[in-house]
Amino acid sequence: MKRARYHHGDLRNALLVATIELVRERGARGFSVSEAARRAGVSITAPYRHFADREAMLAAVALRGFTQLEEVFTSRTEQDPVERLVAIADAYVAFARADPALFEVMFASGIDKESHPDVLARAYRVQELLVDAVGKLTPDDRERRAAEFWSIAHGVAALATEDRLRYLTAEAGSLAGTAVRAWSAGLT
Amino acid sequence: MKRARYHHGDLRNALLVATIELVRERGARGFSVSEAARRAGVSITAPYRHFADREAMLAAVALRGFTQLEEVFTSRTEQDPVERLVAIADAYVAFARADPALFEVMFASGIDKESHPDVLARAYRVQELLVDAVGKLTPDDRERRAAEFWSIAHGVAALATEDRLRYLTAEAGSLAGTAVRAWSAGLT
DNA sequence: GCTTAATGTGTAAGCCTCTAACATTGGAGT
DNA sequence: ACTCCAATGTTAGAGGCTTACACATTAAGC
């Protein structure tokens, strides 16, 4: 029987786990520092030793999310430029649907960019990967085209996680991939 | 000098105005029923005569937003199917950028679909407009293609309002239109 | 005019965030 | 081993928010 120790040992990490769990259960707005502390088995104010405020906890979760997303992208190694983009787009949507809560924290939890430049920087780094991948397809306007590409994938992911896509049933799948295919075919 | 009357006269509307103002200033999370009441010049509990709870106020604002969006879409009357879609996509992004707060309430304020089916229904109705417009371009798979189209426009709008598009400067403009043009060209 | 339903107020319970002072402990340096 | 200190937790408390409930006021139909 493990006695409750004064020092938790791995509180910061435990709090982040509790945070994402809570967002899964109640949404980003339903998350509270108090409840996360309760779940980690510490007093309500203990989290403030590790995070400046409530938002900082969400920002830390978002940061992890972008790191994961980066890994998802770098793991796609298709040779054909189009197929690679299709795979990335579908992987992006799969990532969002696999953990909508994490996706919500990353993009829709109202984290302030000014107070958390690290999160924005990480998001930009992920964007760089897309610029590279898109550059293999069209050397012209890589940045702009990458923004278009990301928008397609992000649009599907955002609408899908919010259940706003009436005609997107589970089996329909690969909506992003199909859209990207059309888009890349249209880039003369 | 107008005396403060017991009955406001147009409280519901005044509260909605205060709500969107507050979201503009502090984001959806920063909005509070108390502050909205304060601005409308009534007691903190008065809003509960008009709205079930805090979320209902945001839902009412979102509903208005979708109505506005519907008007924006129906006002595009370009003849050429492609040009019409390009115009709609750009109008969508312009709508989001003109009032990011409203866009946030509509899509990223965590309004529960179960408790506010009217908002979802209105969103679906807007989607119908897109299905029609896309149908003029490709009769095949209208619903699915419309979902792709909406995703493109929504992706640009969502990323732009969150300042996540590093390479999207103000003058760059029409990113959505360009993407839609490529996409429609690629639909053989 | 009277009555009543609609609309607004006051009070209070129970949550939450975050600050400040105090308690405990693991480790670094001796 | 011992001491001390920085890191990590706790307790107490201020102040804000949501929401229920009882009470006050008034607009509007009869």
pLDDT on residue A179: 97
Burial state string for A97-107 with b = 16 or more CB within 10 A and e = fewer than 16: eebbbbbbbbb
Which of A97-101, A161-165, B163-167 bottoms out in mean pLDDT, i.e. has the lowest? Answer: B163-167
pLDDT at A9: 78
- Is the confidence at residue B104, as pLDDT, over 90? yes
Return the residue in A55, A151, A175 with the most chain B beta carbons within 10 A, the one to mutate for interface testing: A151
Q: What is the pLDDT of residue B172?
A: 60
CA distances from B80 to B75, B86, B132, B133, B136 (A): 15, 10, 13, 10, 9
Q: What is the pLDDT of residue A22?
A: 98
Q: Is the pLDDT of residue A1 over 50?
A: no
Nucleotide lying nearest to A54, CA to C1' measure: C17
Cβ atoms of residues A31 and A22 within 8 Å = yes
Residue type, A130: L
What pLDDT sits at residue B173? 72
Asked whether this chain's domains B1-51 and B57-186 adopt the same fold, the reply is no
- Is the pLDDT at A31 greater than 50? The verdict is yes
Q: Is the pLDDT confidence value at B12 over 80? A: yes
> Rounded mean pLDDT of B23-43?
97
Tell me which of B116, B151, B165, B181 to substitute to probe the interface with A (most A C-beta atoms closer than 10 Å). B151
Sign of CA dihedral B46, B52, B55, B57: negative
CATH fold for domain A61-186:
Tetracycline Repressor; domain 2 (1.10.357)
pLDDT band at B165 (very low <50, low <70, confident <90, very high): confident
Average pLDDT in the B97-121 region? 95
**Above 90 in pLDDT, residue B16?**
yes
At residue B97, the pLDDT reads: 95
- Alpha helix ranges (H) inside A41-174: 54-74, 81-98, 100-108, 117-135, 142-161
Q: Answer yes or no: do A144 and B175 touch at CB < 8 A.
A: yes
Does residue A4 have a pLDDT over 70?
no
Task: Render pLDDT for A141-177 as a digit per residue (tens, 0 to 9).
Answer: 999 999 999 999 999 999 999 988 877 765 567 999 9
Q: Which residue's CA lies closest to nucleotide D7 at its C1' atom?
A: A49
For residue B179, the chain A residues in CB contact (below 8 A) are: 148, 151-152, 183
A140 reaches B (C-beta below 8 A): no
> Please, which residues have CB within 8 angstroms of residue B169's CB and are 6 or more apart in sequence?
none
pLDDT class of A2 with cuts at 50, 70, 90:
very low
Q: What percent of chain A has pLDDT over 90?
A: 87
Q: Which CATH number fits domain B1-51: 1.10.10, 2.60.120, 3.30.450, 1.20.120?
A: 1.10.10
Residues comprising chain A, all counted? 188
* Cα gap B66→B57, rounded to integer Å: 15
Where is pLDDT greater, at B57 or A164? B57
Residue B91 pLDDT > 70: yes
Q: Spell out a b/e string for B151-181, using b for 16 or more CB atoms within 10 Å of the CB, else e.
A: bbbbbbbbbbbbebbbbbeeeeeebbbbbbb
Are B168 and A147 an interchain contact pair (Cβ–Cβ within 8 Å)? Answer: yes
Fold of B57-186: Tetracycline Repressor; domain 2 (1.10.357)
**In the structure encoding, which two tokens stand for residue B27, read together?**
């984001």
What protein residues sit with their CB closer than 7 Å to strand D? A 6-9, 11, 42-46, 49-50; B 5-7, 32-35, 44-45, 48, 53-55
Asked whether residue B43 carries a pLDDT value surpassing 50, the answer given is: yes
Q: Which nucleotides of D are covered by protein (CB under 7 A)?
A: 7-13, 16-22, 25-27
Residue A7: pLDDT band (50, 70, 90) is: confident
Q: What is the pLDDT of residue A171?
A: 53
Mean pLDDT of A46-51: 98
Query: What are the C-alpha distances in Å from B89 to residues A41, A107, B65, B168, B173?
Result: 49, 21, 17, 16, 12
Average pLDDT over residues A14-34: 97
B155 chain-A contacts, CB cut-off 8 A: 150-156, 158
Specify the range with the lowest mean pLDDT, choosing from A104-113, A169-178, B48-57, B111-120.
Answer: A169-178
Which 8-state DSSP code applies to residue B3?
P
pLDDT of res. B2: 43
More confident residue, B2 or B32: B32
Residue B171: what pLDDT?
53
Q: List chain A domain ranges.
A: 1-51, 61-186
